[in-house]
Amino acid sequence: MPKRDKSSEVHKEIVERITGYILNNLHETLDLKQLADNANLSCFHFHRIFTQLKGETPHNFIRRCRVEKAVQLIQSGQSLFLHEIAYECGFTTQSLFVKTFRKYYGISPHEFRKQLK
């Protein structure tokens, strides 16, 4: 039984370290293999552990964090164009950014910005 507790603590530490890595590198391309390699785990094992401890898949976590970062940038009042915000948050295209943003907030980033004014 203590062995399981120890591996559970190790898994928590790994997931927290990778979570920090993700949050510091949202502007970059982040894929499952890269994250699993960084954690020294197989893709399958990393995905299973991350999902179990975070309650969402690595892909969904990254996408949600990118949208949350975009909201922060929009709310900051900086005069950034939406395509600049999309790029800064790691979205490959503005259309993907708008689609993802709308999925989480129910409105486009442009409409969100207009509501703040």
The domain at 63-116 falls in which architecture? Orthogonal Bundle (1.10)
Task: Give the separation between CA 28 and CA 102, rounded to whole angstroms.
Answer: 22
- The ranges of the chain annotated as CATH 1.10.10.60 are 2-61, 63-116
Q: Which CATH superfamily is domain 2-61 in?
A: Homeodomain-like (1.10.10.60)
Q: Each residue of 18-54: pLDDT tens digit?
A: 999 999 999 999 999 999 999 999 999 999 999 999 9
Tokens 């969100």, residue located: 112
User: To 10 degrees, what angle do helices 43-54 and 32-39 make?
Assistant: 90
Instruction: Check: pTM over 0.85? Answer yes or no.
Output: yes
Q: Each residue of 65-117: pLDDT tens digit?
A: 999 999 999 999 888 999 999 999 999 999 999 999 999 999 999 999 999 87
